[in-house]
Structure 1
Amino acid sequence: MAGIEREPAEVRIPKDALDAFAAALSVRTAAVRTWADGIEWMYAMGTWEQPPLEVALMPGGEEVWLRMSTDRSSVAVWTIQ
């Protein structure tokens, strides 16, 4: 993705746990927005006093991207193995 600095992370989500991860995330999801690049970012419930964490499951299900709403130029990448 152009313009975004990807930051590798050591977090690995086993494929067997992906359904549980997605279910847990969907319970806490307040909104989903599709950006111009076609990626759907999920916004968890919380308060406006704290910057929200944005989460996206990449097409193909191999990576989860995380970024803070206050700095969208940097993305942490979790690999699903």
Structure 2
Amino acid sequence: MGLYRHSTDQELQQLRGKLFASLHERLTGPTSATVNGRGVQYQQRTDELRRELADIDAELNRRAGVPLRGPIYLV
């Protein structure tokens, strides 16, 4: 979260929009292509995008005063 502390709210919202569009494109786009009998298959790794989106959301929530949810400990 410390990575985004220097950014303004508007910059964070724009970045979140770009990352969400990238995630949507990665999830809905083609995963393979074939030309002249040769094929290529793409990996759809979305964990990094999801992690960055979560970090940006956490920073925006922190600025808005929304309490962070922590782990629930069972004793």
TM-score range, shorter chain: 0.3 to 0.5
Larger Rg: 2
Q: TM-score, normalised by structure 1?
A: 0.32
Q: TM-score, normalised by structure 2?
A: 0.33
Structure with bigger helix share is 2
